Chains A and B, each alone.
Chain A
Amino acid sequence: MPILNQELKPSDIHQGDNLPPVVKHVTQKDINLYAEASGDFNPIHIDEVFAAQTPLGGTIAHGMLILAYMSEMMATAFGESWLSRGKLSVRFRAPARPKDTITVSGKVGSIEHKEDTSYVNCTVEARNQSGEAVVTGEAVVKL
């Protein structure tokens, strides 16, 4: 799989190709930094006392933080094409918690050619260290 290749051509990509995985160790510090960077100060992410009293039992990472990891994988694989013509559709299956190690991975499922455009359809997912799916979904890149 080419990495950061701005000249990526449809012929460079094949069905079944694995996308370069991204592995991140999530800490409460990361979550707090993300809250400050995004302006999302929902206490479920940053207030350990509040979060402990909810059904989630503790703080959780912002869903958008996990999507940032996913976007990193897509940007690494498809470069500018992802940043300007990408599409992502995901479901949040389970919370990512502080001290979790999140592995984001993906695979090229199919490539469709319509007129002058190729659509690379990928399955994407993020799993924690126990193998539990945290986020699952599809990504499409137009080339």
Chain B
Amino acid sequence: MVYILNNTREAMHLLKKLILSSQVRRVQSKGNNGLPLSFDQLVAGYEFPVTSYELDASIISKYLEAVGRRSEQHALATKFVPPLVIAAYTMTALSKSLVLPPGSIHASQELEFFKLVPIGITINCRGRVTQKLSRGKLRLLVIELDALNQDEEKVLSGKATLVLPS
């Protein structure tokens, strides 16, 4: 296959896409033949398949309706995505690779925002299990996540600690 590259930016973009695509294949090969993994199948260090979603205006509108129309009005007024939308969507996107038992709850959460994100952007999500604990009836999962824009720049990172019912 021959690509005609108009400029360096296009070449870089293509290179990033190729790297991303190889990473997708790499992490999927560690999974469960594409099926969601259960707590028992997870190991510390497991990397979730890279996944993407688009933050269009309808998503933002639905989110703002849920959290209260006045929420993050600054972000809305300036056409930027409230960062908590990215956090919520990234968590949801990654959790599709897991079978979390009903009743799982959040114990703690860390979030850091790095860039303003314009509405309409596609976010690539990366995540990994950094800790898995099982003591008696207590089951704990620590997941680190990164959300990247189309240029593979990190816009948000986070760490979630989840408590799973036994």
Contact = CB atoms under 8 A, between A and B. Distances in A.
Interface residues of A, number: 44
Contacts of A95: 105
A38 B72 contact: no
B110 A89 contact: yes
Interface of A: 4, 24, 30, 33-34, 36-40, 42-44, 47, 50-51, 54, 56, 60, 62-65, 67-69, 71-72, 75-76, 79-80, 82-92, 95
Given A39-B92, A40-B91, 12 more contacts: A30-B66, A30-B67, A33-B62, A37-B65, A38-B63, A40-B92, A42-B100, A44-B103, A68-B84, A71-B82, A83-B82, A91-B107
B78 interface: yes
Nearest to A39: B92
A68 B67 contact: yes
B74 A64 contact: no
Interface residues of B, number: 41
Contacts, number: 137
Nearest to B88: A38
A33 B66 contact: yes
A44 B84 contact: no
